[in-house]
Structure 1
Amino acid sequence: MRGEFLGVQSLLVAEVFEPLFEFIEENEIEVEDLWLDILQSALPRPMPPVAPTYQSYNDDGELHLPEDLDARATYEAALEQHQAKLETYMEASTDDGCARDYIRNFFDDASSEHAIVETLEKAFTPFDDAGGDQLSNAYFVAVQTFIEKFSLRYDVRRPSYNRRMAIYPTLPGLFTKMLRDLRLSSAQDATLAALMVAFEETIRDLHDERSPRRVKQCIAAQFNLLEAMLSQHPNILAYNAAMENRTPKGRKVNTFGAMCDQADVWPHNKVMESAKAIYGFASDYPGIRHGGTPASQLREVDMRDLLSISVILTGLSPYLSPSMDPEKIYLD
């Protein structure tokens, strides 16, 4: 279970919306074309694709570059798909039964977590308009029950100060998404993908032996991943390229601490210093990254350190990887 609506969205109509229509019938609440109202109030109208900007035209005013021709073909195909979606939407906007089918298909095919959440939030208003507090409260409870039933990592808030019902990600939900986004980001590069696999294997190895040796392996593997990730940051690549092109050549940065100094991603020096301090711990503590300094060891590492340091290092990943999108991590 991902802890998100994606993966269980096909159950939303059966678990949330259809029971509400049974509630309406049982309580003899008079409504008319409620599916239509939900469609028009809560679901997004299909948006046309963005027209491409072409690089060049020939003397006859025609496209001639292969990439421009490919872009036009892609755009025309997307425009045709949009027209078909728009016609389906317009047809659904004229009949309550068609609207119900459209809503069901919308949830079944939804590819964006944000689109599902926003639709559920906006659907509160038509229920409130149709049946007042009695019906809107039933809708609120239905959404809340769905979230609890499938252990989704959201909180639901009732409307206040003229705002609609709101569905907020919880802290566990944000952390889960960040981990998943870290995995997806790493998968884009073979080296990073291999280091992510190695890190996850050290986590699994703890199942059979939660020893200091294996805790050290976990911490070291995660540092290897983040150090490699930072080495591929555009700011670091640009800095090292500039050093390579200098005459005489300058010194490139290749350690985590040195790259932190040049990354230009930190909101404050203290945040950067904290990242470097954790790196210093891993380098100085015996047996994690190096032989270290035995005299600096206060005690043997244990599972407390694995949990705390892994959380800290994961929290640094949005700074180190530009392919991780914080907006999408929060809600998408």
Structure 2
Amino acid sequence: MAENPADPRLQIQFCGLPFSTPVVLLSGCVGFGEEYTRVAGFSNRDAGAICLKGTTGNARLGNQPHRVYETPEGMLNAIGLQNPGVDDVVDRILPTLDFSETRFIANVSGSTIEEYVAVTRRFDDSPIDAIEINISCPNVKEGGVAFGNDPDMSARVVAACRAVTGKPIITKLSPNQTDIAENARRCIEAGTDGFAVINTLMGMAVDVERREAVIGNNQGGLSGPAIKPIALLKVQQVYQVAAPHGIPIIGQGGVVNAKDALEFIIAGASAVGVGTGLFYDPLCLPKMLAGMSDYLDRHGIAHISDLTGTLRLHGFVSACDLPPEAS
């Protein structure tokens, strides 16, 4: 593994894997690890890990355009899991990746539990370092409801994948559900090793002149700074469930600079994911790492992991949270 290009105080262990930095490049934003290598000055060594593009059993063409649309402080996307299929990824793409530069995490997607299992099993027999399970996909056998919005279905997917791989499993949790903490608890029971919190929020953009949806799929996933307050809350909620079990979290959703990253770590994340931030500034990672090191210097903190979950919550309880007799 490559030496840390930045500060050794930023090296972490995530699900038993050594990350040279706590910054993870998120699935769908860097293709299959090669997208940003064409940007002058970009280095995979600045990332502790790279999540590859969502991969399904067979090749998919994805959704009709428009697939991406900029919104205030964010971005809508509905790519539709365009990918060449797991066999092509394992046989053709993985051999081209330099595993000495960083860790590579596969992103497994599917429309049935059987597809999740088949793709996970295929990645298990590959050099990939870990497997991220994207449970925000629609279950075609259950009328299209997303696996990740139902704790029972989420746990079934995790348990089924756990049975066919010995690699670390990171479950990517959806914010589009009633109780993310309960979902996390069920996934821990099913055997997940880590969490990625959160996936995108569902949103829409409207063309007022045409009076039609801008996105070809009508709705898409909202990412970017606009969702950061929601993502921070979800990380903190999942941390309360995950920390007693030693389950680490990749906090993500609107991270574009060092301050954002530090907020997620303080809220309970062990690592932070950068996705839409790369569209704002493809060379944001070195600046982010430098800012994190400066924070450790200014506050006399020995290691970035010492910050995880150090958020001080206020003791105030709203009247609406009190039982009737107390209010």
**Fold similarity call, TM over 0.5:** no
Q: Which has the higher helix share?
A: 1
Q: Which has the higher strand share?
A: 2
Which structure is larger by alpha-carbon Rg, 1 or 2? 1
How does the TM-score come out when normalised to structure 2? 0.21
How does the TM-score come out when normalised to structure 1? 0.21
